[in-house]
Amino acid sequence: MLIIIISAGCTDINKTPKRVPVARAGDQILYLDQIPRLIQPGTSETDSSAIIQNYINKWAKKALLLQKAEENLSPQLKDEIDSQLEESRANLVIYQYQRQMMLERMDTVITDAEIEEYYSANQESFTLNTNIVKALFIKLPVETPNIDRIRMLSRSNDQSELQQLETYCYQFAEKFDDFNEEWVSLDRISVELPQEITNEESFLRRTTHYESYDADSAYLYLVTIRDKRLRSSPAPLEYVKEDIRRMIWNIRRIEFIQSLENGIYNDALKENIFTILNK
């Protein structure tokens, strides 16, 4: 039988004129067409036999265990399982229908104006739980040529000089991150530094330009803080924009599903599909 199965792996079993039984476990039969294509090209006959035998053994253990459970479970537990299966199927069917209707009918376009309106109306809900910055981070080998020039350029606000800095950094920097247009957690930068920042709030209040040297690795670290917001202060709109987009979308989703349910319910009442028989 194993030889038949292995040989069938090289043919189209859908062309088999009738189902070929492979094993029986109690009242369950495993057919050849139920066995997945397990044998990869080049697998030896011995290994192929072992793979197929292992699959059949696992199938038999599961089938026999299921039958034993069916024989020994109480009627009450069987009824409970049937009820749970029915509920799970109903929930899955409803979920898929709701998802289909949302894809076809729900408005998913969320404008910047809507985001700004939601932010203004709920600004007290957007409080920072971490310190965030717009910053420049550079990690350079100490033997980098023109390192003093790079240090000076990193402190500049002039666009032409910042372009020069970018050119230098792409040539020599081990790491170069320009977060001038993006709010990021200070932790994202501090984790790169050789020395720990013990008090982030104090560090941000007194620091605009920061340098650190790691003698062990021979790297120089340059950080320029362009802007900052401290923990417990209101979060900037840009920082929470995508969170707000998800919130608005979720509100729409809930409202759409409620409207869908109510519409189906009201239509059923009008068409006398739903009626209360005993009031």
- Report if residue 176 sits inside a domain: yes
Residues 33 and 47 in one domain: yes
Assess if residue 78 is contained within a domain.
no
Residues 169, 219, single domain; the answer is yes
Inside any domain, residue 99 = no
Question: Is there a single domain that holds both residue 137 and residue 222?
Answer: yes
Say yes or no: 247 and 179 in one domain: no
Instruction: Kindly state whether residues 211 and 249 are assigned to the same domain.
Output: no
Q: Are 6 and 45 in contact (CB under 8 A)?
A: yes
174 in the same domain as 50: no
pTM here? 0.73
**Nearest CA-CA partner of 234 in 159, 92, 125:** 125
52, containing H or E segment: helix 45-72
Whether residue 118 lies inside any domain: the answer is yes
Tell me the CB-side half-sphere exposure of residue 255, using CA atoms within 13 A: 10
Query: What are 212's two structure tokens?
Result: 């650190």
Q: Which of 129, 113, 220, 124 is nearest to 174 (CA)?
A: 220
**Together in a domain, 119 and 245:** yes
The answer to whether residue 96 sits within a structural domain is no
- Verify that 178 and 224 share a domain, yes or no: yes
Residue 79 lies in a domain: no
Domain range for 55: 2-72
Residues 183 and 165: their CA atoms lie apart, in Å, by: 21
Residue 85 maps to a domain: no
**For residues 99 and 181, what is the distance between their CA atoms, to the nearest angstrom?**
36
Count of domains forming the chain: 3
In the chain, the percentage of residues whose pLDDT exceeds 90 is 75
How far apart CA 247 and CA 119 sit, in angstroms, is 11
CATH code, domain with 222: 3.10.50
pLDDT at 1: 59
Query: What pLDDT, on the 0 to 100 scale, is given for residue 47?
Result: 83
Residues 169 and 156 in one domain: yes
H-run or E-run covering 168? helix 159-172
Residues 63 and 181 in one domain: no
Whether the Cβ atoms of residue 217 and residue 194 lie closer than 8 Å to each other:
yes
Give the integer Cα–Cα distance in Å for 129 and 246.
19
* Residuewise pLDDT in 10s, the chain (279 residues): 555 555 555 545 455 458 889 899 998 999 988 888 877 888 888 888 888 899 899 999 999 999 999 999 999 999 999 999 999 999 999 999 999 999 999 999 999 999 999 999 999 999 999 999 999 999 999 999 999 999 999 999 999 999 999 999 999 999 999 988 899 999 999 999 998 898 999 999 999 999 998 888 899 999 999 999 999 999 999 999 999 999 999 999 999 999 999 999 999 999 989 888 876
In a domain, residue 111? The reply is yes
Angstrom CA distances, 214 to 106, 169, 211, 221, stand at: 55, 18, 10, 8
My answer on whether 164 and 41 are in the same domain is no
Q: What is the pLDDT of residues 32-74, one digit of tens each?
A: 888 888 778 888 888 888 888 998 999 999 999 999 999 999 9
Taking alpha carbons only, the member of 69, 66, 48 closest to residue 58 is 66
Q: What is residue 215's predicted lDDT score, i.e. its pLDDT?
A: 80
159 and 245 share a domain?
no
